[in-house]
Structure 1
Amino acid sequence: MKNVEYIIVGDGYAGLFFAHQLIKNNKSFVIFSEGRKSASQVSAGIINPVVLKKFTTFWKAQEQIDFLKDSLKEIESYTGENYLIDAPIHRIFHDKNEQDLWLKKSAHTELTNFLDENFDHLEVVKNDFRTGKVSQSARLNVNGFFAGLFNYFEKNNLWVKEKFDYSQLHPLESSYKDFVFGNIIFCEGMGVKENPYFSGIGVIPNKGHHIRVKLSQPIPDHITIKKKHFLFPMDNGLHFYGGTYDREQLHHHIDESAVTQLVNGLSEFYPYDFEVAEVHFGFRPTVKDRRPIIGNHRDFRNLHVFNGLGARGILNGCYFARDLFRCIEENIPLQEEVSMNRFN
C-alpha cells in the first residue's frame, strides 16, 4: 500500500491550486486525472476584478487578485515559468451613458483601484465612445499553466492517469485501491454529479462556447478587448473570442446558435474579415449565490468537496484552496459564505 496525505480528484483550477497548497506545505499527494480537457482548460483565463456589465466589483476582489499574484510567483519557483500575462482589459463603451457611469463608479472607494479614469482609443476595432481600462486585470496563460503543472506532477510521480472509481473507495478504512490516504479532495466540476458522496451539492451547469478565429488585421497583443465578450491573441496565430453563458442548451455538442451569437458579437466591433478556425465549449459549475461550495461529507470527515467556482475559476480556485487547506490542517472554520453548510 502507498501512504499519501491527500488524494485530489479533478484537474481544473480547484484541483491544481489545491495541489499548489500541498506542494507549498510539503504534503504528500497524488492527483487523479484522465488527461482530458476540463472546462478550466478551455477557459479564457481572464483575471478581472470588475463585473463589466454594471461596473461593480465583488466580494474579496482585491484580496483575491493579490493572493493570485503571490501564488503564481510561488508556482514559478518550481515550474520555472510565470503564467501571468500583463494584458489589461479594455472595455469598449456602447455609448456616452456608459462612459459617465464608469467615471461615476470610479470615484467609489471599492472601485477606484480598478477603473482607470483615462479613456483610450484603440486602433483596428470600432470604439467610437473609446474604452475604459480595468487596472489590475490580466490573463493567465491557460495552456502553459496546465501543461507546466502536469509536467511537474508527472516528473514527481504525483499524477495517476485514470478515472477515479468510486466503488473502490473505502472511507472508513481511508483506503482507495492500493492507496491509504488522510483526506480526499473532490474537485470535479460538473463531474461531481456522478460522485455518490457529493452528487447532491447545488452546482448548476452553465455551458460556455468560444471561437478561435483568424483575423485579417491583427489587434494589439498587449491588451484584452471586451465588448459583449473577450477578444485577445493566442500564441498559435489565432485569436480567442468568447465566451457565452447558457443554462438551457446543455447537450454535449456545439450549439450553432452560440456560434452565431459570437460571430455577430465580434462583427459588431471588428470591421475586417475573419475566419472561424475552431469552436470549443465547456460546462462551468455555477452556484445560485455565485460563491464556491466547500466542505466535508457529513458522515466521512476525510472526504471533502471543492466546487462551484463558476466564471471566476482562477481567482476563486486560488484563494479558497488556501481556506480549505487551513480548515483541514489547522481547524480554521470555513467562511460561512463558501461553506456547503450554508445550504443546510
Structure 2
Amino acid sequence: MENVDYIIVGDGYAGLFFAHQLIKNNKSFVIFSEGRKSASQVSAGIINPVVLKKFTTFWKAQEQIDFLKTSLKEIESYTGKNYLIESPIHRIFHDENEQKLWLKKSENEELVNFLDKNFGHLNVVKNDFNSGKVNQSARLDVNGFFTGLFSFLNEREQFINEKFDYTQLNASDSTYRNFNFKNILFCEGMGVKDNPYFSNVLVNPNKGHQIKVKLSQPIPENITIKKKHFLFPINDGLYFYGGTYDREQLHHHIDETAVEQLIKGLSEFYPYDFEVEEVNFGFRPTVKDRRPIIGRHPEHPNLYVFNGLGARGILNGCYFSKSLYDFIEENIPLHEEVSLARFE
C-alpha cells in the first residue's frame, strides 16, 4: 500500500488550486482524472472583479484578485511559467445611460479600484458609445495552465489518468485500492451527482457554449472585448467568443440555438466576416446562493467536498482552496457563507 496525505478526485480549477496548497505545504497526494475536458478546461479564463451587466462587484473580489496573482507567481516557481495574461476587459456601452451608470458606480467605494472613469474608443469593432475598462481584470492562459500543471504532476507521478471507482473506496479504513490516505477531496463539478457520499450536494448544471472563430479583420491585441459575451485572441490566428448560460438545454451535445446566439452576438459589434472553426461546451456547477460549497462529510470525517465554483471558477477555486486547506489542517472554521453546513 502507498501512503498519501490526500487523494484529490477531479482535475478542474478546484482540484488543481487545492493541489497547489498541498505542494506549498509539502503534503503527499495523487489526483484522479477522468481524462476528458472539464468545464474548467474549456472556460474563457476571464479574471474579472465586476459583474458587467449591472456594474456591481461581488463578495471578497479584491481579496480574491490579490490572492490569485500571488498564487500564480508561486505556481510559476515550479512550472516555470506565469499563466496570467494582462488583457484588461473593455466593456462596450449600449447607450449613454450605461455610460452614466458606470460613472456613478465608479464612485462607489467597492468599485472605485475597478471601474476606470476614462472611456476609450476601440478600433475595428462597433462601439458608438465607447467602452469602459475594468481595472485589475485579466485572463488566465487556460490551455497553458492545465497543460503545465498536468505535466508537472505527471513528472512527479501524482497524476492518475483514470476514472475514480467509488466501489473501491473504503471510507472507514481510509483506503482506496492500493492507497492509504489521510483525507480525500472530491472536486468533481457536476460529476458529484454520481458520488454516493456527496450526491445530495445542491449544485445545478449551467451549460455554457463557446466558439473559436477566425476573423477577417483582427481586433486590437492585449485586450478582451465584452458586450454580450467575451471576445479575445487565443492562438493560431483564432479568437475565443463566449460563453452562453443555459439551465434548460442540458443534453450532452452541441445546441445549435446557442451557437446561433453566439454568432448573432458577435455580429452585433464585429462588422466584418468571420468563420466559426470550433464549438465547445461544458457544464458549470452552480449554486442558488452563488457561493462555493466546501465541507466535510457528516459521517466520514476525512471525506471532503469542494464544488459549486460556477462562472468564477478561477477566483473561487484559488481563494477558497486556502480556506479548505486551513479548515482541514489547522481546524480553522470555514466561513458560513461557503460551508456545506449552511444547507443542513
CA distances 1:164-212 after superposition (whole Å, capped 9, x unpaired)? 0000000110000000000000000000000000010000000000010
Question: What aligned pairs does 1:250-329 form with structure 2 within 5 A after superposition?
Answer: 250-329=250-329
- In structure 1, what is the Cα distance between the partners aligned to 2:250 and 2:147? 28
Shift of 1:36: 1.1
The DSSP-based 3-state class of the residue aligned with 2:268 is: helix
- In structure 1, what is the Cα distance between the partners aligned to 2:34 and 2:110? 42
Shift of 1:161: 1.1
Aligned partner of 2:144 in structure 1 is 144
Shift of 1:152: 0.4
Q: Does 1:184 align with 2:184?
A: yes
Question: Which contiguous aligned blocks of 4+ residues in structure 1 show a shift greater than 6 angstroms?
Answer: none
Aligned partner of 1:105 in structure 2 is 105
Aligned partner of 1:56 in structure 2 is 56
The DSSP-based 3-state class of the residue aligned with 2:17 is: helix
- In structure 2, what is the Cα distance between the partners aligned to 1:33 and 1:256? 29
Question: What aligned pairs does 1:184-263 form with structure 2 within 5 A after superposition?
Answer: 184-263=184-263
Shift of 1:34: 2.4
- In structure 1, what is the Cα distance between the partners aligned to 2:85 and 2:334? 31
Matched residue type, 2:146: F
Shift of 1:257: 0.4
- In structure 2, what is the Cα distance between the partners aligned to 1:155 and 1:182? 23
Aligned partner of 1:115 in structure 2 is 115
- The count of corresponding residues between Structure 1 and Structure 2 is 344
CA distances 1:28-87 after superposition (whole Å, capped 9, x unpaired)? 000001221100000000000000000000000000000000000000000000100000
Q: Does 1:14 align with 2:5?
A: no
Provide the aligned C-alpha RMSD in A.
0.4
Shift of 1:295: 0.2
Q: Does 1:163 align with 2:163?
A: yes
- In structure 1, what is the Cα distance between the partners aligned to 2:214 and 2:236? 10
Segments of structure 2 that go 5 or more residues without pairing to the other structure are none
Shift of 1:221: 1.6
CA distances 1:228-257 after superposition (whole Å, capped 9, x unpaired)? 000000022110000000000000000000
Aligned partner of 1:40 in structure 2 is 40
CA distances 1:102-145 after superposition (whole Å, capped 9, x unpaired)? 00000000000000000000000000000000000000000000
Matched residue type, 2:42: V
- In structure 2, what is the Cα distance between the partners aligned to 1:132 and 1:102? 8
Matched residue type, 1:83: Y
- In structure 1, what is the Cα distance between the partners aligned to 2:85 and 2:214? 21
Aligned partner of 1:339 in structure 2 is 339
Shift of 1:157: 0.6
TM-score of the two chains, using structure 1 as the length reference: 1.00
Matched residue type, 2:27: K
- In structure 1, what is the Cα distance between the partners aligned to 2:291 and 2:157? 33
- In structure 2, what is the Cα distance between the partners aligned to 1:343 and 1:95? 42
- In structure 2, what is the Cα distance between the partners aligned to 1:152 and 1:220? 33
- In structure 2, what is the Cα distance between the partners aligned to 1:220 and 1:81? 24
Question: What aligned pairs does 1:60-139 form with structure 2 within 5 A after superposition?
Answer: 60-139=60-139
Matched residue type, 1:284: R
Matched residue type, 1:270: Y
- In structure 2, what is the Cα distance between the partners aligned to 1:252 and 1:34? 16
- In structure 2, what is the Cα distance between the partners aligned to 1:213 and 1:296? 43
